[in-house]
Amino acid sequence: MKRYIVTPSRCTACRSCELACAFRHGSMGLPGKTRIRAYMIAEGRHMPLTCLQCEEAACVKVCPVGALVRNEQTGAVDVLDAKCIGCEACMAACPFGAMAMLAKPDSGPTAYKCDLCGGDPACVLFCPTKALQYVEPPRRTQSPR
């Protein structure tokens, strides 16, 4: 399985990833609804942040209706829109602030998060400095945790 690898030293906080993310997911044309954010911590120190797809994810545990499930193909935790009742429990539970709510035109708001674009992350495609990569992990990182 490919891994999403972030190399902060390469990030220039150009925020191409944010735009790529917002456009890939439709997000009704709102770049503010991105699922990845490039942070400027200090001059020359940047950090792209998105969902870590935790192995023991707090959001999955706290969801009362089973709307958050692990996608076995991508390894991402996916939101099943049809099941999400918008209770915001996952938002409160996520220790990294990676979960948010998206208003929908024909139903109540549902949770949204990084889904690794189903295995082809747009942010990786548009990152000019390769700070974001989606690759087969090198052998040494494949050891079981």
**Residues in contact with other proteins by the rule CB under 8 A:** 6-9, 37, 39, 41, 45-47, 49, 58, 61-62, 64-67, 80, 82-89, 91-100, 107-109
Phi, psi of 122 (to 5 degrees): -65, -35
Q: How far is the CB of 1 from other proteins (least distance, A)?
A: 21
Q: How far is the CB of 139 from other proteins (least distance, A)?
A: 20
Task: Select 93 or 125, whichever has its Cβ closest to other proteins.
Answer: 93
User: By C-beta, is 9 or 73 nearer to other proteins?
Assistant: 9
Q: Which residues contact 17 (CB under 8 A, 6 or more apart)?
A: 34, 36, 38, 48, 123, 126, 127, 132
How far is the C-alpha of 3 from the C-alpha of 19, rounded, in Å? 21
Bridge partners of 45, per DSSP, are 42
CB of 6 to other proteins, least distance (A): 7
Alpha-carbon torsion 113, 26, 29, 66, what sign?
A: negative
Beta carbon nearer to other proteins, 72 or 82: 82
Considering the complex, state which of residue 28 and residue 41 has its C-beta at the smaller distance from other proteins: 41
Residue 125 beta carbon to other proteins: minimum distance, rounded to whole angstroms: 22
Maximum distance among all Cα pairs of the chain, rounded to whole angstroms:
47
